[in-house]
Structure 1
Amino acid sequence: MTPANAPDISVARSHSAKRLSIIDAAARVFCREGFAGANIDLIAAEAGVSRQTIYNHHGDKENLLVAVVREVTERINAEVFDTLATFPDKPVDLEADLTAFAVRLNQNCLCNRDGKFLRKLLQTEGERYPELFAGWREHGPAKTWAALAARFARLAHAGWLDIDDPDVAARQFLALVNADLQMAMIFGDNLSEEQLHTAAANAVRTFLRAFGRARAIAG
């Protein structure tokens, strides 16, 4: 890297840091105040930038919320696919291995800061402003379902599961994994390791009763 290039890199890093600061500040304000109660001045103050900077980056409040949802969805997807890389494709004890995987899925993707942000935004604003969450619908859960379905299909092919439709199995697995945590998450509780493990164990046990073959259940 030559000295002549250094200013350009510094400017790019500064621009990226400012953009992320605005996104994170906007997510906090939207969650705290709701979309109707939030305004650009509040977000600018939270981000430590001028209101004009936000207008220059995003144009208006609607575009800013879309940008927040897109950024948070991308970050969650990155965590999801990192966690999917640990899926037990060649299980030793399918119930134990799937339970450990379910715990990681909840820890990394549902109970982390981005998961909490997105869940709160969807709960408070999704029904009123569905068009602002179109990107999440297209690029969020659908990608997770498809990737998880492919992994369940491989387990079925290897004789561990009895599945007619891997897509249905994937959606039901995720629903079961989240089921025992829903009430606590609605109220913003901090979940303990024990709660996460118990929820995962209950989910996997129920899932295998529906989809497990004899050797998976016995194992």
Structure 2
Amino acid sequence: MNTTDAITITSIDSITLDAADPEAAAQFYADAFGLISQVRVRASDAPTSGFRGFTMSLVVPQPANVRALFDSAVAAGATVLKPVEKSLWGLGGVVQAPDGAIWNLATSAKKDTGPATREFDHIVVLLGAEDVSASKRFYTGRGLAVAKSFGSYVDFATPSSPIGLGLYKRRALAKSAGVAPEGTGSHRIRINSDGGSFTDPDGFAWGTSSE
């Protein structure tokens, strides 16, 4: 299907992650982040190794929530890739779930405004692209508007969606996650939206929640 004939994407409603032990993975996401409907898990033994080419982010309203979610994830079995630390843009930490997915827990807020909770503002899936410009054109051809774009980073506008989408140069994304950029095999992720089933230029699969 050409992008000119593509179904317009207006909302990303969930993410499906592949895992060898889907029950354990689902339990991890419930225990660590309180995620039940937004992140789904299905059984898969598709070969995969190294960096899978994407990261997931929980964007939270204050630093205390970053620490609460980080500690909760580690307690539930996540591996620390980057400890919680301050940066020019705010505060964040990176963990890897037992199923292999990488999660960035972050806030741009400098100060706490209330007690720590595991509440978050939104979820963002960031896809590693070999050619960011080509992938950007692919997605704008499917109706997504660009909210921000600079250098090797693109953030799409998804105002009606519970899950945001961005692109980042694959090597830069791996570096930001604290892992080597090399990886082969399945991405082990499907993005569920109202835009139909397709595969993007970097091999990321899209589908519908009913699939």
Verify same fold: TM over 0.5.
Answer: no
Question: Which is richer in strand?
Answer: 2
TM-score by length of 2: 0.25
Indicate the structure with greater helix content: 1
Higher relative contact order (CA 8 A, sep 6+): 2
The structure with the larger Rg is 1
